Structure 1
Amino acid sequence: MKRIAEKKLLAWINSYRRKPLVIRGARQVGKTWLVENCLAKQFEKYVKIDLEKQPQFHAAFEGDLTPNRMLEVIELHAGRITPGKTLLFIDEIQGYPRAITALRYFYEELPELHVVAAGSMLEFAFGGISVPVGRIEYLHITPMTFYEYILAIGNEIIAERLLEHPKDHSDALVEAIHQHLRDYFFIGGMPEAVEAYRDTRSKLESYKIHSQIISSYREDFAKYRPSVDYACLDGVLDSVARSTGQQIKYTQLYEHASGVTNHKAFDLLCKAKLLNRISSANPSGLPLGASQGKRFKASMLDIGLMQHMCGIDPSIAVGKENLLSIYNGQLAEQFVAQELLAWHTDKLFYWSRTAKSSNAEVDYLTVRDSTIYPIEVKSGPAGRLRSLHLCLEAYPNCPQGWVLQDGPYQELPSQKLIFWPLYATPHLGNRQQLPLEA
């Protein structure tokens, strides 16, 4: 399988003033796979140490943190390490947080050695150590995008077309891509689930993987104690899975806990990258976060995990005229959130207005070429997009409203609207990721 992060990883090898690289992301999104199948092949030797499974390596990061002493201990168990020829991979680095501090000394005293680290729940480890700010660099890995999924199942032609501007896509092509998107809604982007579907063409096999991944996440909840009770974390995760696209109130997340406890549980799940906060914001200017409001929504890590937790039967998609009608449109909103995070940004925002006469809400705000565009995830005539029109009237700095629909690309200049196919998310912002050659 190919990942859009591969080019960034390869560029890191020969980058100017290269720093140790820390790959972040939730468990099982493919961090270790990327190192072993992309980076490791570029070196004469590859040395991997796992600080959760191999505690004998903890001694390398105790006491004196000079690179020569650390390598001396590592080499006792892993063999010779030669700067410039060896890739040193420190996996599950959160298993011994002082190893994160040690990365600064590799940068300052042995910059010719290629050091990459990966871990889950790193934000928890950061809370108890001195983080070497400015001496390490980060790469965040998300679940596989729809584009990566299409590549993985072997449809290179469709993948190529996904990266083209959709204005030239025929109705037949749009429908063909949306048929694949229906499958992605239920398989999702967790690499093991995608691999299971690719090899068997059975959604049932993917669902088995979803169940295993969710169970492993819940087993991790024991590591969050005593911060928040296990049952509260479980309840909050379930609640958010079922309320994607809806405004969240802490008191309503888990009925057996207080709003304060639910707040803490929600924040911990965001730190673990299982949830993503979507903050309300004023689109009057940049940066969007500067005008952040009190209201917020949330999305899950992965659309496949979300539908599994909600118990959505894939058969409900049969006979549906459009993707946005599946599960009341919540899967479509989850998909867009997931794609925006993978392609364009690390924080999500939406617009919300409360007035005595009426309320209005636009699903997402995105930025392309320093311009803010409100995004609505729904189908239907332009005249029904009341909230989107209100947003455009209130904020003339937003030149257009964008509508994601289960249909072809269409421009309505008189109404300052562009209708995009639902799969066109790679075009809705400035790409942080570089596309692969399909």
Structure 2
Amino acid sequence: MKRLAEKSLLTWAEHPKRKALIIRGARQVGKTWLVENCLAKQFERVVKIDLESQPQFHAAFAGELSPKAMLNAIEPYTERILPGQTLLFIDEIQACPRAITALRYFYEQLPELHVVAAGSMLEFALGEYSVPVGRVQYLHLSPMTFYEYLLAMGKNAAAEMTLEHPREHSQATVDALHEQLRDYFFIGGMPEAVATYRDTGSRLEAYDVQAQIVTSFRDDFAKYRPVVNSACLDAVFEAAAKSVGQQIIYTQLYAQATGKTNHKAFDLLCRAKLFSKICSATPSGLPLGHSQGKRFKAAMLDIGLMQHVCGLHPAMAVGNHDLMAIYRGQMAEQFVAQEMLAWHSESLYYWSRATKGSTAEVDYLAIHDGKIHPLEVKSGPAGRLRSLHRCLETYPNCEQGWVLQQGPYQELPEQALVFWPLYATAQLGNRQRLPL
């Protein structure tokens, strides 16, 4: 399966002044596969050490952290490691925090050696053992985007259409692409689930894979540091999945724990990359993070896993053509957040205002060519977009509002609105994270 991050890996490998590369991302998004099946092809030999399943390699990082000393300790168990010819792949690096510290010395003393690291619980180790700024390079890997999913399913033409401007797309094209998107809503972008659906054509088998992935996430809860009761983590995990698109209130996530404990549990789930925290912000100028408010909502790692945790059986995909109505519209909001985070930015914001007697909220704030576009995800005519109109009236610097819906592309200049088909979400930003 083609992953767009492959291009970033090749760019890193060819750079004459490369640093050690750390691939970040949640469990089972394809970090190890990406290295072994894409990057490894560029080298004469690959030496992989797994610091979780091969603890004998911990000794290589226990003493002097010079590249020569470390390689001398590794090579008795592997083949020769030759700079310029060998890729040294350190997997599950979080199992040996000293190895994280060691990465800087490869850059400083042996930059000609290609060193890449990954790990399923890496974010917790990075929080405890900081790596000096400028000594390593990071690559974030998300689940497969809708574009990557279509490529994996052999629908290359459809994939390219999602990145074309939809102005010229016929109604038949719009409907066909949204039919493909309906499948993606239920299969999601976890590589194993996508591969299973591609190979078997069975939503049920993909659903079973999703169940295994969710179980593996829950099995990891006992490893989280600092420790939070597993029952609380499990409850917050499920409650947050069912609350996508809604304001999160800690005390309502798990009634048997305090708001403070739920807060800690949710933060740990975000650190594990299972959820992203989407904060409210004022769209008066950039960067949006400078005006970040206290209100926030969440997006889950993957839309397929979300539907599984929420109890949406694959049979619901058959004949359910209204994407905006599935699970009260929350699936559509999850899709948009997931695409925006994968393509455009590691941070996503929305607008919320509560005044006496009224509230207003715009689902997301998109940034394109230095301009802020309030973005709504919903069906219905423009007259029902009261919050979006209020946002545009309040912030004149927001010159145009965007609406993602299940219909064709449409411009309403008199209302400063543009309606985009939902499948075109990848186009609504600067595409900073995934190169084509």
Do they fold alike, i.e. is TM over 0.5? yes
Task: Give the distance between the partners of 1:313 and 1:172, measured in 2 at CA.
Answer: 28
Q: Residues 1-400 of structure 1: matches in 2 within 5 Å? A: 1-224=1-224, 227-400=227-400
Task: Give the distance between the partners of 1:256 and 1:367, measured in 2 at CA.
Answer: 40
Counterpart residue type for residue 363 of structure 2: D
Q: Deviations over 1:188-217 (max 9, x none)?
A: 000000000000000001111001001111
Where 2:423 maps in the other structure, the secondary structure is: coil
| Preserved CA contact (<8 Å) 2:400 2:417 | yes
Task: Give the distance between the partners of 2:128 and 2:289, measured in 1 at CA.
Answer: 27
Task: Give the distance between the partners of 1:6 and 1:260, measured in 2 at CA.
Answer: 40
| Preserved CA contact (<8 Å) 1:4 1:433 | no
TM-score by length of 2: 0.98
Counterpart residue type for residue 300 of structure 1: M
**Superposed displacement of residue 79, structure 1:** 1.4
Task: Give the distance between the partners of 1:143 and 1:418, measured in 2 at CA.
Answer: 28
Counterpart residue type for residue 111 of structure 1: P
2:430 aligns with 430
Task: Give the distance between the partners of 2:172 and 2:435, measured in 1 at CA.
Answer: 24
**Superposed displacement of residue 432, structure 1:** 1.7
| Preserved CA contact (<8 Å) 2:207 2:314 | no
Q: Which moved more, 1:385-394 or 1:224-233?
A: 224-233
**Superposed displacement of residue 132, structure 1:** 2.5
**Superposed displacement of residue 52, structure 1:** 0.3
Task: Give the distance between the partners of 2:210 and 2:433, measured in 1 at CA.
Answer: 26
Counterpart residue type for residue 41 of structure 1: K
Q: Which moved more, 1:263-272 or 1:426-435?
A: 426-435
Counterpart residue type for residue 403 of structure 2: V
Structure 1 unmatched runs, 5+: none
Q: Which moved more, 1:157-166 or 1:87-96?
A: 157-166
The count of residues paired between Structure 1 and Structure 2 equals 436
| Preserved CA contact (<8 Å) 2:183 2:317 | no
Where 1:350 maps in the other structure, the secondary structure is: strand
Task: Give the distance between the partners of 2:426 and 2:127, measured in 1 at CA.
Answer: 34
Task: Give the distance between the partners of 1:374 and 1:93, measured in 2 at CA.
Answer: 40
Where 1:342 maps in the other structure, the secondary structure is: helix
Alpha-carbon spacing, 1:130–1:357, altered in 2? closer, same or farther (3 Å): closer
Task: Give the distance between the partners of 1:331 and 1:133, measured in 2 at CA.
Answer: 37
CA RMSD of aligned residues (A): 1.1
Alpha-carbon spacing, 1:236–1:434, altered in 2? closer, same or farther (3 Å): closer
Q: Deviations over 1:270-321 (max 9, x none)?
A: 0000011010000000100100000000011000100001111233344445
Structure 2 unmatched runs, 5+: none
**Superposed displacement of residue 17, structure 1:** 1.9
Q: Which moved more, 1:245-254 or 1:154-163?
A: 154-163
Alpha-carbon spacing, 1:356–1:43, altered in 2? closer, same or farther (3 Å): same
Q: Which moved more, 1:418-427 or 1:159-168?
A: 159-168
Q: Deviations over 1:49-80 (max 9, x none)?
A: 00000001101111200000000011110110
Where 2:376 maps in the other structure, the secondary structure is: strand
Alpha-carbon spacing, 1:360–1:210, altered in 2? closer, same or farther (3 Å): same
Task: Give the distance between the partners of 1:435 and 1:147, measured in 2 at CA.
Answer: 12
Q: Which moved more, 1:388-397 or 1:154-163?
A: 154-163
| Preserved CA contact (<8 Å) 1:23 1:116 | yes
